[in-house]
Amino acid sequence: MGRRPHQGQYGAMTERTEIGRRALLAGLGASAIAAGAPKAVAAERLTKVIPSSGEMVPAIGMGSWLTFDVDADRAARTQRTEVLRAFFDGGGAVIDSSPMYGTSQEVIGDALSRLAHSSRTFAADKVWTPRGEDGPDQIERSRERWGVDRFDLLQVHNLVDWRRHLETLFEMKDAGALKYVGVTTYAGLRHGEMEEIMRSEPIDFVQLTYNILDREAEERLLPLAQEKNIAVIANRPFREGALFPIVESRKLPAIAEAIGASSWAQFMLKFIISHPALTVAIPATRRVDHMQENIAVLSGALPDADQRAAMIKAIEAL
């Protein structure tokens, strides 16, 4: 399907578990941020370019799958607000959610309403309904839950009815109701179909699974994203927590010091965002200290090609 002509204005995986997570922090980790370093961190944060526009965004974002689905629990909502505060204080901007994620959208909206930093938000959500004609209503409900004037990015979740949903999203973009259009997949599924969309549709973003062990996207999708000037969001950066038991109680390899990684989580995130095609990684967490650890990756060196190869070798040897 090629993009259809404009037909009128639009009207009114991330981390499931955190088993065996994290070595002790050092350097510019959680303690530095908590001690009052957020302005310095934000000023020096690592940003990546969105190829279709030239806009720069911080390379570490935040997912919300399961972690922000806390219903009306006021104590849990307050705690998630503090997670989001740590995210903004560390220089973060890109927040990703979906109608699929239970109450996550409402909890994000509640947290944003409490925080002075909410103006920094790059709001990324998804349309996820099997009937394309239901997409506009679902999108409006999502916007109301977030409490934002408009989304920065809307994505077709897991390619569900992508042809009809893309029509809606392109129409919104043409009308100025949306900045960017994307599609998502996860866990290596439907890469062939995603490649078809990347080749035929003028999308701005793709979201896919990419981490230090799940590197299938390197074969075709990441090179194609560079060729087509499409931004890439990496989901499941820790394989929903399943990577931590692999490294639990293991000493960080020597290469970690050279790239400024003081924990296995930082080691894994630096690997992801050092790929030249990657724009943002979106780890999810329920905890402030883990958020501080993740967002600290925005400061410091990234591995080069030789160091990336050494990182893969170190992980695969465990």
pLDDT of residue 117: 62
Is position 18 within any domain? no
Q: Does 9 fall in a domain? A: no
Tell me if 2 is assigned to some domain. no
Total structural domains in the chain? 1
For residue range 115-153, list pLDDT tens digits in order: 976 678 999 999 999 999 999 999 999 999 999 999 999
Residue with more model confidence, 42 or 165: 165
| CATH classification at residue 110 | 3.20.20.100
The verdict on residue 10 lying in a domain is no
Q: Name the pTM for this structure.
A: 0.87
Per-residue pLDDT band for 300 (boundaries 50, 70, 90) equals confident
Q: In the chain, where does DSSP find H-type helix?
A: 30-34, 38-43, 74-89, 104-114, 135-146, 162-174, 191-200, 221-228, 244-247, 255-258, 264-273, 288-295, 305-316
Domain boundaries, position 104: 30-316
DSSP three-state, residue 301 = coil
- Asked whether residue 12 is assigned to any structural domain, the reply reads no
DSSP state of 62: B
DSSP tag of 298: G
114 in a structural domain: yes
Is residue 24 assigned to a domain? Answer: no
Q: Is the pLDDT of residue 13 over 80?
A: no
In a domain, 261, yes or no: yes
What pLDDT was estimated at residue 60?
98
What residue type is assigned to position 53 of the chain? S
